[in-house]
Amino acid sequence: MEAVIAVLVGVLMASSVYLMLRRNLVRFVLGLALISHTANLLIFSSGGLQGTFPPLISPGELEPGPGAANALPQALMLTAIVISFSVFAFLLVLAFRTYQRLETVDPDSMRSAEPVPAEAGMDGPASGGPQ
Amino acid sequence: MAALGIPTARVPVLLRASVALPAALFAWFCSLVPRVSSGQTLHWEIGWIPEQGIALSFFIDGLSLLFALVITGIGTLIVHYASEYMRGRPQLPSFTAFLLAFMLSMLGVVLADNLIALFIFWELTGLTSFLLIGYKHEEAAARRAALQALLVTGVGALAMLAGFVLLGETAGTYSLRELLAGDVSLADASNYTWILGLVLAGAFTKSAQFPVHFWLPNAMVAPTPVSAYLHSATMVKAGVFLLARMSPVLGGTEAWSVTLVGFGAVTAVYSALASVTRTDLKQVLAYTTVMALGTSVMFLGLPGEAGTAHSTAAIAAVAFILVHALYKAALFMAVGTIEHSTGTRDIARHGGLRHVLGPTFVGTALAAVSMAGLPPFIGFVGKELLYSSAYESAFGGFALFAIAAASVLIVTAAMLVAVVPFFGTMKQSARDAHPVTWQLWIGPLLLGLLGLVAGVATAPVFHGLVLPAAAAIAPVPEHFEPGLWHGFNALLLLSLATWAVGAFVFWQRPVILSVPGSILDRLPVTGDRVYDAAMDGIARFSTALTRRMQSGIQRRYILAVFATLALSVGATLVAKDAIHLPSQIPSVTFGEWALVAVIAASVLTVILTRSRLLAICALGVVGTAISLVFLLRGAPDVAMTQLIVETLVVVIVAIVLLKLPDFRNEIRQPLSARWRDGAIAVAVGTVTTLVLLAVTARPPQLELTEYFESMAVPGGHGHNIVNVILVDFRALDTLGEISVLVLAAAAVCALIRRRSRYRFDRFLRLQAGQSARPGRARASREGA
């Protein structure tokens, strides 16, 4: 199972990175949401996937029973999920407001803070128009 | 310019009172002369960082005493002169502070025992020199010259520091006293060439040797007292001092002799020629200073017997340093007085000034005669020594030719400075000139007279100062008797010829000097231009680098981050041999396969779809499917949280994203860009997979988990281990997490509220310099 999850995490990671590199804030936002999932899955599976039972201790006992999942990554992930959700919500609103102000979702055209000559674009002149 | 020294301006009390400092130091150094000339070396040590065994130690032998006397003696006269010259100028307290700070740093250079301390004092002289050259900081030329002097000497000094470190490590000590006392010669050390080259780089830049001499004439934008003090009498001699100091340690080799004689001779002849073609009196003097530095370097390089410096040449070099300090400080002060009185330093505009500036004229004449090397002045003794030691040395013909050629032109330069402004018919400048107070002529007059007295009383000067100083460089013969008269010999004839030719060149200067003058003016490559080109190059390189690195394009930063991640982690994996590919087909149930397939398909849908709604739905599917993975593998808490968050995300995204433009009018990126991004993405993905495989290939480290498991009930009184970790063991982390949530919520609220909107629009309009429509026009740029 670990090997399959490892490949899946790789696919998720590659997809997130590709999305974050698009010249479109909407796709960037999607990429960011995806990369949070990827990170969570990465943490989860690096703690081992042998256990299938929740890490709970039965009343009267002092230790969880055999087959309990690794509790530590779960605790880390719970924190990570909440924080990534906060960041994501903030970014989403930021993207929305940016669009309202600048009337574009092309990050290359957001030059209010750092105006540079047109030749400094990344992929040459922007080829606008419908695809 | 004539109004520079307003006689009615307030006397700078601080500057005038501070004469006491150099005067007192001068008197104290004078009192040391008998002890040092009898061969004693005085030594002081102040515990600096005693715990580290670092002490600030100083020592005085003949060489350092001669320099210390020059620094404080001329310093006294200069500070006194400046207190009148600078009257009425701005910022005199800081000028005073810089000047005195320079003097103390320069004393540090010549008295320091530790090489590192010497370097620090050396840099302090460069720093104070920077501040003093840039005194008229509102002028671009002054700023440029100040920076140029700082950079050129600073780069040399850094090389010198490297040389010192190599030297100290090779010799086993950083103490000059120990280096000199141990009779260490590093000539056989394997890194001798490096040490020599690096130390010479420091000395040559500081002492303005060709081709890095250019900063010194440029430094003449400084007020004249500064030029007289730093840039002729003292600071520029630091390099010469260092060479003299290092001569017993590093000298005596062929490399040393050839380098010093070569650079010194070229510098001397070139700058002597340059000096007589200048029309600005200060420039004439500046180039003769460079000539004097070249001469000193050349004579310190002349080889003697068996690995030591040539003893007569060492005496000649030391004598010449003293001679030069006396006449050059006098001439600079005199030129400053001329400028102060008439407002110009242009030679052609002067004439007949002797009627107005009588005492200054006398001082100038005395100094110029010493400079030209006429008896009975000390300059004559100095020049005779130069001629005779050059003649005796192994470089005989070459050295003699170089020094004779330079001397001829120096005679011409001396006449330029002393004859042209003062004799002839009174020009307009002389009629406009105002007489000057005694403070402005006493310095040149005293120094000029001193040159005469030293020339007549040669023996005490030599036995008291020159010979003890030369003894620090090379063994000095027991009975060395310098004198004015050595009989009627070939060298006297050479001296006579020098004066005659020098006077002839002066007489016929429009004819003789026009050709070299125009050649020097049209040199295709000069140090100054190379400096400019280097500075421009650095600025251009930095601009290009900044534009490349700090493009302001967000995707480029992301690309750099991910590419770095893939490269560094990938390289580590390969280097640590940590790539573990699974050997057998993993045992996975059908349900798990289905889950993985759903996730992969949804992700591809997010990437490929042209519909926002579909992308949002697919994203939701990914999140939900991942939470199912958590559920299957014993993490119901995480799965629940993930489900809730995922639902919220989908709802919020659906609300917000649908207000953003859809993908139909998206900017289409070229195929090359997509391939590049794809390659980076695949690389990052592959690296992530490999890392995860490497991590899961070995059994997980469970110490921490086991600790939490065993402590959950006794320590946290809870049966859900995950909850106990969150709220007990890592409670502070959870507090931080909640704070992030609150902050993000606050930021979201602030962004959603529209109060700041018009202010921001105005800001944008101001930036763009146009009146953008303040409104929420929906027509997107791309769609238009």
B contacts of A8 (beta carbons < 8 Å): 596, 599-600
Within 13 Å of residue B590, how many CA atoms lie on the same side as its CB?
Answer: 0
Nearest Cβ partner for B684 among A6, A13, A103:
A13
pLDDT at B121: 94
Question: Do residue A11 and residue B603 have CB atoms under 8 angstroms apart?
Answer: yes
How much is the pLDDT for A115?
64
A23 → closest Cβ in B555, B637, B642: B555
A2 in B contact zone (CB under 8 Å): yes
B663 touches chain A (CB under 8 A): yes
The model carries a pTM of 0.72
Say if residues B225 and B443 touch (Cβ distance below 8 Å): no
Asked if A14's CB is within 8 angstroms of B780's CB, the reply is no
DSSP class per residue in B370-404: HHHT-TTSHHHHHHHHHHHHHHHSTTHHHHHHHHH
Cross-chain Cβ contact B619/A15 below 8 Å: no
* Alpha-carbon gap: B539 to the closest alpha carbon of chain A (Å): 18
Q: Tell me, what's the pLDDT at B112? A: 92
Q: Amino acid letter at B713?
A: V
All residues of chain A having their beta carbon less than 8 Å from the beta carbon of residue B556 are: 122
CATH number, domain at A103?
1.10.287.3510
Is the CB of B629 less than 8 angstroms away from the CB of A44?
yes
Report chain A residues whose CB lies below 8 A from the CB of B684: 13-14, 17
Alpha-carbon distance B643 to nearest alpha carbon in chain A (angstroms): 11
Best probe of the B interface among A19, A25, A26, by most B CBs < 10 A, is A26
Pick from B378, B366, B377, B387: nearest CA to B495: B387
Chain B residues close to A71, C-beta within 8 Å: 705, 708-709, 721-722, 725
Residues from chain B that touch A7, judged by Cβ atoms under 8 A, are 689
Q: Which residue of A has its CA nearest to B739?
A: A83
Which of chain B's residues have a Cβ under 8 Å away from the Cβ of A90? Answer: 744, 747-748, 751
Which residues of chain B make contact with A130, given a CB cutoff of 8 A?
A: 664-665
Q: Whole-angstrom Cα distance, residue B615 to residue B550?
A: 32
Chain B from 554 to 583: CB within 8 A of any A CB? 554-556, 558-559, 562, 582
Query: Could you tell me the residue range of the domain that residue A25 belongs to?
Result: 2-50+70-109
Nearest CA in chain A to B593: A4
Q: Does the residue A12 lie in any domain?
A: yes
Instruction: Give the pLDDT score at B780.
Output: 41
Give me the amino acid identity at B584. Q
Which chain B residues have a beta carbon less than 8 Å from that of A44? 629-630, 633, 635, 638
Indicate the SS3 state at residue A77: helix
> Measuring CA to CA, which residue among B660, B739, B607 is closest to residue A91?
B660
Is B776 near chain A, with CB under 8 Å? yes
Number of domains forming the structure of chain A:
1
In a domain, A127, yes or no: no
CA–CA separation, B259 and B257 (whole Å):
6
Rounded to a whole number of angstroms, the distance from the CA of B572 to the nearest CA of chain A is 18
Chain A contact set for B554 (CB, 8 A): 107, 110
Our CA-based measurement puts residue A40 at a distance from the nearest CA of chain B, in whole angstroms, of: 9
**A33–B780: do the CB atoms touch at under 8 Å?**
no
Backbone angles phi, psi at A53, to 5 degrees: -95, 150
Q: Please name the member of A34, A46, A83 whose beta carbon is closest to the beta carbon of B622.
A: A34
In a domain, A86, yes or no: yes
Asked if the Cβ–Cβ distance from A55 to B722 is below 8 Å, we say yes
Q: For residue B775, how many other CB atoms are within 10 A of its CB?
A: 9
CA nearest A27 in B: which residue?
B607
Whole-number Å distance between alpha carbons of A67 and A69: 6
Alpha-carbon distance values, A11 to B66, B506, B556, B617, B684 (Å): 79, 87, 22, 19, 10
- Put simply, the answer to whether A79 touches B696 (Cβ < 8 Å) is no
Q: Are B741 and A86 inside 8 Å of each other by CB? A: yes
Tell me how close the Cα of B650 comes to any Cα of chain A, in angstroms.
10
- Would A61 be classed as within a structural domain? no
Which among B562, B769, B34 has a CA at the least distance from the CA of A16?
B562
**Residue B723 carries which side chain, given as an amino acid letter?**
N
pLDDT at A130: 36
Query: What are the mean pLDDT values of chain B's consecutive 10-residue runs (784 residues total)?
Result: 54 86 94 88 80 78 93 93 87 90 94 91 94 91 92 94 91 86 75 92 92 90 90 90 91 88 93 89 92 93 76 89 92 91 85 84 91 87 88 83 91 90 80 82 90 87 88 81 69 88 88 81 83 92 85 85 94 89 78 90 91 89 92 89 90 83 80 91 95 87 87 87 90 92 90 64 64 43 38
* Helix, strand, coil abundance in chain A, percent, nearest 5: 60, 0, 35
Give the CA distances from residue B735 to residues B9, B248, B698, B749, in Å, rounded to whole numbers and listed in that order.
Answer: 69, 70, 33, 21
Q: Does A125 touch chain B (CB under 8 A)?
A: no
Distances (CA, A) of B165 to A94, B45, B54, B127, B506: 55, 21, 16, 22, 48
Minimum mean pLDDT among A20-34, A91-105, B474-488, B584-598: which range? B474-488
A77 touches chain B (CB under 8 A): yes
Question: Is A11 a member of any domain?
Answer: yes
Are B737 and A82 in contact (CB < 8 Å)? yes
Closest CA to B721 of B702, B695, B737: B702
By the 10 Å C-beta count (0-12 exposed, 13-18 middle, 19+ buried), B609 is classed as middle
Asked if B753 has any chain A CB less than 8 Å from its own CB, the reply is no
Position A117 in a domain: no
